[in-house]
Amino acid sequence: MIDWRVRLDGVWADAESKDWDPGPGPLRLRPGCSPAELAAAERRLGRAIPPPVAELLLATNGFGDEWAAYADPLDAVIDTNLWFAEDEHFDRSLFAFAGDGAGHPLCIAPDGTIHGWNAIDREAFPIARSLDELYAFPR
């Protein structure tokens, strides 16, 4: 299991020491969700939240910086997944948890791989092999 708060808290300090500009930082980490909030969300969605996303939400209920949100808070995750549940073209094996900043939701597949969803082309496109890789900021 990844200690998301430790990883994300250290991004800007690590970046400065390596002369890498991560953006307008620092990351703004919200307090994590409670297990009861996740259980209520799963009941509302009628499906389980994939374990990697649940772990992230328990650590931080969304995070971002001055420019963007990199992981959505639970209420947005619920709304996005409910909205896509009504889209007959959306691949229902995917679970949306964030956006890519260009209007595509970022989704996790049952095998843990991360995909973007292109609603115009009605297809998923690969982004990363895991949530861990997606948020593996340069070290």
Q: Is residue 139 part of a domain?
A: no
In the chain, how many domains are there?
A: 1
pTM: 0.86
CATH of the domain at 25: 3.40.1580.10
pLDDT at 39 (0 to 100): 98
Q: Is residue 47 part of a domain?
A: yes
pLDDT at 125 (0 to 100): 93
Domain that holds residue 66: 4-134
pLDDT at 6 (0 to 100): 78
Higher pLDDT, 40 or 87: 40
**Closest of 139, 112, 125, 119 to residue 56, by C-alpha:** 112
Tell me: the pLDDT tens digits for 86-114? 988 889 999 999 987 777 899 999 999 99
Is 138 in contact with 18 (CB distance < 8 Å)? yes
